[in-house]
Structure formats: C-alpha cells, structure tokens
Amino acid sequence: MKGIITKAFASTIVMPGPSPAQKVITEVFRAQENWILVGARLWWQFTSTVIANDGHMHLHAYLTPRANYHQDGEIIHAEAFVLWNTTPAAVDYECEDNIVMFPDGYGISLPEEAILNVVYDGANVSAAAIDMTYAGVLYLVSGKVTSR
C-alpha cells in the first residue's frame, strides 16, 4: 500500500474597493518527482474584521494545471459571495468548501515539473477593501499512473 501525503496551500487576498473583475494566477504546487493526485480540497474563508461602506463581492477559485479557468484539466472550483451593510451593521457570506477524492486506483498523473495553479477572479463593488483567504489541500501518492 502506498501512503498518501498532503500538501497544503493558502493565500490571503485584499480586494480594494471598488475593483473591477480581475484574474490572478498563483502557482501552488510544482512536482519535484512523479506524483499521482488522488484528491483535492479547495475553500474560501472570510477574513475581514471591519467593513466600511455597503457593498458586495463575488470570488471564484479554480485548481488547474492551466493558466486560465474553464479549460480541460480543471480539478476543482470554489466560490464565495459576501454581502454587507453598514446601517444596520450586517455581514452575510457564503464560502464554499469543496473536496474531490478519486476512487481507489484512479488519479491524475503529475509528472516531474508539472505545475498546479490556483486561478482566482472576482470583483468588489464597494468603497471598502475586503480580505478573503483561499486555502486547499492536495492529496498525493508517489508514482505514475499506469493503464489497466
């Protein structure tokens, strides 16, 4: 039996307000040897403590070997929506936490030097800056995918 190792990643994003839709690409994993991805988890966390001005923000994050989203090879996607009001003071948010685990014997081959990126995009339609954190975990086993 092969053991599963985990690789965690996270990044806090400060979205200034107001900001139009923007796309950012962040490398989160570069294979130093042959790996098989057997699962992945990706989520958003609302991390702002004080919000001034009314508004909302919508964010998407994609774990993918590409430098763009909505393309072949996309592994997992998570989104977040935050809505706030200063009078009366209220914050409502929904942050997805998604996980995919492949059945025993299946996985995505990550040969040496393969790269996985998080591509995120979103927009903040308020005068207030908002902090959000995306985070994830890769579940990996050493080796190459072999055909059956």
How does residue 49 score in pLDDT terms, banded at 50, 70 and 90? low
pLDDT for 88: 67
How does residue 93 score in pLDDT terms, banded at 50, 70 and 90? confident
| Sole residue written with tokens 């050493």 | 142
Residue 46: phi and psi, rounded to 5, are -80, 120
pLDDT for 139: 97
Tens digit of pLDDT for each residue in 104-127? 889 999 999 999 999 998 888 888
With a cut of 70, say whether residue 68 has pLDDT above it.
Answer: yes
How does residue 144 score in pLDDT terms, banded at 50, 70 and 90? confident
Give residues with Cβ within 8 angstroms of 10, minimum separation 6. 133, 134, 135, 136
> Is residue 34 classed as helix, strand or coil in its secondary structure?
coil
pLDDT for 50: 64
Maximum Cα–Cα distance across the chain? 61
Of the candidates 97, 109, 17, 126, which has an alpha carbon nearest to the alpha carbon of residue 65?
109
